[in-house]
Amino acid sequence: MKKILLSGILFLCTALLAEAQNTSPIIVKATIFENDTIPFIELKPVTIYGLPVFKNKKDQRQWEKLVRNVKKVYPYARLAGIKFQEYEYLILTSRSDKERKNYINR
C-alpha cells in the first residue's frame, strides 16, 4: 500500500513539473533577394591572430610538436567521427537488443 501511495505522489509531482515546449516565433530582420527571404543575423566579430611569438626555443619546439601531432592525427579523428555516427545510427535503428550488442562488440 505504501509503495502504491508513494508512486502515486511521485507521479503527481512529476506531472506538475512538466512543461510544454516554447513555440513562440523568433523574430529576426530579413532581406528579400530575388524573391527569396533571407534572415539577417548579426554575428559577433572574430579576431584572427597571427603566428605566436615565443619567449624561447623550448616554447617554439613545443608549439611545433603540437602542430605536427595535430596534423598527423586530425584525418584519423575525422574518420573516427564518421564511424561513430554510423555505429550510432545502426544502434539506434536496430530492432533487438541482440543486434545492438553485436554492433557494440564489433
Residue carrying the nine cell digits 532581406 = 31
Q: What is the pLDDT of residue 68?
A: 97
Q: Which residue ranges make up each domain of the chain?
A: 55-106
- Partners of residue 38 on adjacent β-strands: 31
Q: For residue 22, report the phi and psi dihedrals to the nearest 5 degrees.
A: -80, 115
Of 76, 84, 82, the C-alpha closest to 103 is 84
pLDDT tens-digit readout, 7-59: 777 777 676 667 767 778 888 889 999 989 999 888 999 999 988 899 999 99
- Say whether 38 sits in a helix, a strand or coil: strand
Reported confidence tier of residue 4, pLDDT bands at 50, 70, 90: confident
pLDDT at 53: 92
Percent of the chain with pLDDT over 70: 94
